[in-house]
Structure 1
Amino acid sequence: MKILFIAPYIGATYGGTSKIVTELVRGIGHLGVSVDLVTTHANGSKNLDVLLNEWINDKNHRVQYFYSWYQDDFIISPSLINWLFKNVKNYDIVHSQTVFAPMISVAHSICKYFKIPYIVTPHGMLEPWALSYKAWKKRIYYNFFENLAIKNSSAIQATSILELKNINYLEFKNTVFIPNGIHRHEFETLPNPKIFYQQFPETTGKTLILFLGRIDPKKGLDLLAPAFAKVHDQFPHTHLVVAGPDNIGFIDKAQSYFLQAGCLNAVTFTGMVSGALKYAALAAANLYVAPSYSEGFSMSILEGMASGLPCIITHGCNFPEAAKAEAAHIVEINVNAIANALIECLSNPQQAKEMGDRACEFIFQNYTWDRAADKLIQVYKSVVNKKPLPEFLDILK
């Protein structure tokens, strides 16, 4: 069986989706299945420095990058599309990543032309908030292109229970629930937090609240700013770390939220953090916060919980299982709810620590890349052999 992944991008600038795609491809290849990934050199304001139009071997899989033209998240690559038209028939199944992307829509049409089955992973782009953001543009695109392409897919991967329900509400069939994961060994021993303090000395000796994600309207920084202002008034030793890339030019607006709330002097915007610096940020943090309006299934939340941090996340993060396991504070999407949960954790550090310990164990037991890859392979085999799709609703059993 030969699997082809196609993604508009895998540059780190684009956040969790890029990591998800990379880890799934590696995980599938690790299990002995032939898997290739085709993508572009897009990476925000600076292209990836990679070889183009040639296969790059990466342990147990291959990656090929193509030149692209792009504006923010709008990415198109004629050379990749041309390659697909010539080569897609050499694969048994195609797994496309994200929706509302013209290049992916063309890929679906090519698959249909050559009668190659394809699976779609929306990465949260079919969530109610995501559909309502720039709604008129999406409505037109959805009605003319996306709706039929998704209906013609052999399977739609949802990464959370709520995303699964929302996709089913749109009357799509053939859905499967396979959440994202982490590598346990990356979080069992985190690096010395001094690595982070040395890079950002203003955070030294502070009680750090960590936001880890893209600087984007859907991430709820407009809510976090006044919420943190309330927290900082009561706990002046707190300091907020906003760690993540700005690939759409939103950072000035984001910083204005904290300026208006009167707490910008207690906030550090780090830009994108990766590798040892990211893990050091997790090690240095005392609390993790995700005030998002909408998520598919956030990688950074998994990382925060796997690091043993007390996590405050909104209902928009699509993770009710964490609340059921008492592994995170799940709050309403508003300023007071976010502020009150942060204050509760700061006021009760022992209870917060116990929640963080539960979070770590909960993630290690249920959300790993090995489990996700194994389940995807089962789906691929079912599609190729024209068998019913497996059900994976027993993740917590």
Structure 2
Amino acid sequence: MKILFIAPYIGAIYGGTSKMVTDLLEGIGRLGVTVDLVTTNANGSNTLDVPLNEWITRKYYRVQHFDCWYRDDFIISASLIKWLVSNINNYDIVHSQTVFSPMISVTHLICKYFHIPYIVTPHGMLEPWALSYKIWKKRIYYKLFENPSIKNSSAIQAMSSLELKNINSLQLQNTIFIPNGIHCKEFETLPTPEIFYQQFPKTRGKTLILFLGRIDPKKGLDLLAPAFAKVHNQFPDTHLVVAGPDNIGFMDKAQNYFLQAGCLDAVTFTGMVSGTLKYAALAAANLYVAPSYSEGFSISILEGMASGLPCIITTACNFPEAAKAQAAHVVEIDVNAIANALIECLSHPQQATEMGDRAREFIFQNYTWDRAAHKLIQVYKTVIDGKPLPEFLG
């Protein structure tokens, strides 16, 4: 069995989606399945410094990058299209990552022409908020391109139970529920917080609240600013860390939210953090917050919980299971609800610590890349054999 992944980008600046793709590839490859990834060299306002048009061998998979033209998230690569036409018949199934992307739409057309089955993972782009953002452009594109190509897919992967419900509400069939995960070994021992303090000395000695995600309208920073202002007034030693890339030029607006709320001096914008620095940020943090308007299934939330942090997330983060397991505060998309949950954690540190411990155990037991890879391989085999999708994945 040979699997081909295609993603329009995997640059770290694009946030969690890129990490999801590469971590899942590693999980699948570790189980002995041949899996390749083709993508572009897009990376925000720059390009990745990588070899083009040749395979790069990772430990468990191969990746090949192609040059592209892009503006913001609109990415197209003539050389990648040419490669797909010449090589797609070498694979048993194609797994495409994200939607509302010209490269993915073209890939689906090529798959249809060559009779290669394909699976679609929307990564939250079919959520109600995401569909309503830039609604007129998306409505036209969805009707002309996305809806037909998604309907022709062999399976649509939802990464949360709520995303599954929302996709089904669009009258799309062949949905499967396979959530994201983490590599447990990355969270067994976190690095010393000192690494983070040295890079950002203003955070030393503070009670740190960590936001880990892209600087983007859907991430709810307009809600977090007044919520954090209320928290900071009651707990002056708190400091908010906003850690994530700005790949759409939203930083000035985001910072202005905190300026207007009167708490900008208690906020550190780190830009993108990765590798050891990211894990040191998780080690340094006391609380984690995700005030999102829309998510598919956030990797950074799993990382916060796996790090043992008390987490405050909105209902739009699509993780009701965390609330049911008492492993996180899941609150409405509302300034006061976010502020009150943060204040409750700060007012009752012992209970917050216990919730963080439950979160860590909950993620380690239920949300790993090994589990996700095992379930996906079941789906691949079913599709290739021409059988109906299984109702339950073990």
CA distance in 1, matches of 2:179, 2:150: 19
Cα distance per residue 1:118-160 (max 9 Å; x no partner): 0000000000000000001000000000000000000000000
**Which residue number in structure 1 is paired with residue 298 of structure 2?**
298
Q: How does 1:94-173 map to 2 (within 5 A)?
A: 94-173=94-173
How far apart are 1:393 and its partner, in Å?
6.8
Residues 1:227 and 2:255 are matched in the alignment: no
Residues 1:238 and 2:238 are matched in the alignment: yes
**Which residue number in structure 1 is paired with residue 345 of structure 2?**
345
Identical positions, percent = 83
Cα distance per residue 1:9-60 (max 9 Å; x no partner): 0000000000011011111111111111000001112211100000111122
**Which residue number in structure 2 is paired with residue 333 of structure 1?**
333
CA distance in 2, matches of 1:60, 1:229: 46
CA distance in 1, matches of 2:6, 2:393: 26
**Which residue number in structure 1 is paired with residue 53 of structure 2?**
53
CA distance in 2, matches of 1:34, 1:93: 11
Residues 1:270 and 2:259 are matched in the alignment: no
CA distance in 2, matches of 1:211, 1:60: 31
Q: Output the TM-score relative to the length of structure 1.
A: 0.98
CA distance in 1, matches of 2:188, 2:86: 45
Q: Output the TM-score relative to the length of structure 2.
A: 0.99
Q: May I ask how many residue pairs the two structures share in their alignment?
A: 394
Cα distance per residue 1:52-111 (max 9 Å; x no partner): 000111122111000011111111111101110111111110000000001100000000
Counterpart AA for 2:131? L
CA distance in 2, matches of 1:56, 1:134: 36
CA distance in 2, matches of 1:355, 1:134: 38
CA distance in 1, matches of 2:285, 2:223: 20
Cα distance per residue 1:264-291 (max 9 Å; x no partner): 0000000000000000000000000000
Unaligned runs of 5+ in 1: none
| Secondary structure class of the residue paired with 1:64 | strand
| Secondary structure class of the residue paired with 1:227 | helix
Counterpart AA for 1:350? Q
How far apart are 1:390 and its partner, in Å?
2.1
Q: How does 1:241-256 map to 2 (within 5 A)?
A: 241-256=241-256
CA distance in 1, matches of 2:77, 2:393: 37
How has the CA–CA distance of structure 1 residues 393 and 63 changed in structure 2, closer, same or farther, with 3 Å as cutoff?
Answer: closer
Counterpart AA for 2:88? V
Residues 1:257 and 2:257 are matched in the alignment: yes
**Which residue number in structure 2 is paired with residue 357 of structure 1?**
357
Q: Do 1:177 and 1:391's aligned partners in 2 also have CA atoms closer than 8 Å? A: no
**Which residue number in structure 2 is paired with residue 16 of structure 1?**
16
Counterpart AA for 1:309? L
Q: Do 1:213 and 1:245's aligned partners in 2 also have CA atoms closer than 8 Å? A: yes
Unaligned runs of 5+ in 2: none
**Which residue number in structure 2 is paired with residue 320 of structure 1?**
320
CA distance in 1, matches of 2:271, 2:59: 30
CA distance in 2, matches of 1:388, 1:39: 30
